[in-house]
Each structure stands twice: as structure tokens, then as C-alpha cells.
């Protein structure tokens, strides 16, 4: 009679318990959940989650003030209009800014794609193009601020066109987002320089390093940039179209 096998079977990666119990056990093991996930990428996701809460608080506060104020809210389509040939065009500058930022998401996707292929020159070039789009956006936002402050007399504590909260909400929300874009432009240029020099091909020591021959920092930067673009879509919808 053959002896019985009393050895304990080794659990395989796919041998999970069904239902919520299996889900809890799976996510309770960091080795299983975050296996092969770069540390910088995981930390970027955590940062973006915290930033989501901040922007959500800003937009919810704006909507609360907008709906509760007894003073008339300025007509946004007229406030942010520009004249070409004597005829004002509502939100034309904001539309151009939105187009530029969405286009920059496309160039960022291409940069990540060529980073996967380890095409050093195309990756660096697309990062620079993305940075130029971002810098153009910030420049247009600076023009928009100048127009409101100098020509319209809007201040964070005062607004001659209606509700005084308009100025504080506008400068707080767009300023915080513009700061994110400016920081992103700076980091895009720094990473593009390192990619162009081949730092990631030889694993050169310094800031924003990664494993040899790995361009994972480009993907991490792409997460940040896409988040900035997505936040602007919400700002555009709630602040400029409402």
C-alpha cells in the first residue's frame, strides 16, 4: 500500500480565496500588491491622491460660495472675452489654453511610448515639446491675470463686477493649478536633459535616477502631467462654463 503524501501544498500566486476574504488577503500583502511597482511610481500615485482631495475641496468650496452668495455673480463669458476686430469673443483665450493643455497630454503619451522603446532622442524631444505647451499655458494664464487685475480691477478681496468672492475663488483655484503646471514644466525640462544625455542608459548617479536602461521616470512624470490636465478640465467646466 503506497504511503500517503502528508506534505503541505505550496500556495501558488493565483490560489486565492474567493470573495471578500480573498480580496482582503491579496491586498494585505504588499509583496503581492506592489510587486514590480517602482517606488517612485507608487509614491506619485499617493501624492496625486492627496492632491485630488485638495483640488476637490477648492472646487466644492467654490460651488458652495457660488450657490450661496446673494450678490450677482459676474457673467464669466463676458469677463473672459477678448476682442478681435471690435467684436468680443467669449472664452476664446480659455478655449485656446484648454486646447494647448489637452494637446500636451498627447505629446506626453508619445514621450512615454518612446521611453518604453528606449528611443532617447525622440523621448527627450517630446518632453521638451510638452514643456513648451505647458509654458505657453502659464504665459496665457499670466496674461489673463494681468487683464483682470489691471483692466477690470479684480482683487482677491474685491470685485467691481459683482460678488467679491469671485476674485478670491479665481486667483486661488487657477493660481494653485498654474503653480502645478509651472512645477511640471520645470521637471519636464530636467528629465528631458537627463534623457538626452543618456543618464538612464548608463544609470548615472544623481537626482531622478532609475534602473539602468529603464525610463520609468518618464512614465512617472506622465502621471503627474495627465493629472494636471485632468484637473484643468474640471476647472474649465465648473468655473468657466457654469
Which residue is listed with cell 506622465? 222
**For 22-55, what is each residue's pLDDT tens digit?**
767 666 655 555 566 677 888 899 999 999 999 9
Which residue is listed with cell 532617447? 120
The answer to whether residue 6 scores a pLDDT higher than 70 is no
Please state, in angstroms and rounded to a whole number, the distance separating the CA atoms of residues 80 and 240.
8
Please state, in angstroms and rounded to a whole number, the distance separating the CA atoms of residues 91 and 82.
7
What pLDDT band is residue 9 in, cutting at 50, 70 and 90? very low
Question: Which has the higher per-residue pLDDT, 36 or 140?
Answer: 140
Q: Are 76 and 239 in contact (CB under 8 A)?
A: yes
Cell numbers that stand for 196 in this block = 538626452
Please state, in angstroms and rounded to a whole number, the distance separating the CA atoms of residues 140 and 32.
46
| Main-chain phi, psi angles of 48, to 5 degrees | -65, -35
Burial degree of 213 (CB within 10 A; 0-12, 13-18, 19+):
exposed
Using DSSP's 3-state secondary structure scheme, residue 26 falls into helix
Please state, in angstroms and rounded to a whole number, the distance separating the CA atoms of residues 212 and 210.
6
Q: Name the helix (H) or strand (E) containing 82.
A: strand 82-84
**For 164-194, what is each residue's pLDDT tens digit?**
899 999 999 999 999 999 999 999 999 999 9
| DSSP letter for each residue of 131-196 | HHHHHHHHHHHHHHHHIIIIIS--BTTB-TTS-THHHHHHHHHHHHHHHHHHHHHHHHHHHHHHHH
CATH architecture, range 37-240: Up-down Bundle (1.20)
The answer to whether residue 102 scores a pLDDT higher than 90 is yes
Amino acid at each position: 500500500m503506497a504511503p500517503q503524501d502528508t506534505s503541505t501544498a505550496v500556495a501558488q500566486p493565483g490560489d486565492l480565496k474567493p470573495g471578500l476574504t480573498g480580496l482582503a488577503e491579496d491586498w494585505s500583502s504588499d509583496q503581492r500588491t506592489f510587486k514590480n511597482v517602482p517606488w517612485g511610481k507608487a509614491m506619485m500615485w499617493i501624492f496625486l491622491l492627496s492632491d485630488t482631495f485638495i483640488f476637490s475641496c477648492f472646487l466644492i468650496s467654490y460651488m458652495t460660495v457660488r450657490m450661496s452668495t446673494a450678490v450677482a455673480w459676474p457673467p464669466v463669458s463676458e469677463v473672459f472675452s477678448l476682442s478681435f476686430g471690435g467684436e468680443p469673443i467669449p472664452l476664446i483665450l480659455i478655449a485656446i489654453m484648454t486646447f494647448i493643455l489637452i494637446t500636451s497630454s498627447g505629446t506626453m503619451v508619445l514621450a512615454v511610448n518612446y521611453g518604453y522603446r528606449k528611443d532617447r532622442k525622440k523621448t527627450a524631444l517630446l518632453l521638451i515639446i510638452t514643456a513648451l505647451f505647458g509654458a505657453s499655458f502659464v504665459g496665457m494664464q499670466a496674461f489673463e491675470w494681468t487683464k483682470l487685475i489691471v483692466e477690470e480691477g479684480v482683487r482677491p478681496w474685491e470685485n467691481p463686477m459683482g460678488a467679491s468672492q469671485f476674485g478670491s475663488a479665481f486667483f486661488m483655484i487657477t493660481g494653485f493649478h498654474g503653480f502645478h503646471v509651472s512645477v511640471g514644466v520645470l521637471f519636464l525640462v530636467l528629465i528631458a536633459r537627463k534623457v538626452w544625455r543618456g543618464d538612464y542608459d548608463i544609470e548615472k548617479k544623481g537626482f531622478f535616477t532609475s534602473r539602468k536602461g529603464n525610463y520609468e521616470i518618464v512614465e512617472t512624470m506622465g502621471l503627474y502631467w495627465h493629472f494636471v490636465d485632468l484637473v484643468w478640465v474640471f476647472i474649465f467646466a465648473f468655473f468657466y462654463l457654469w
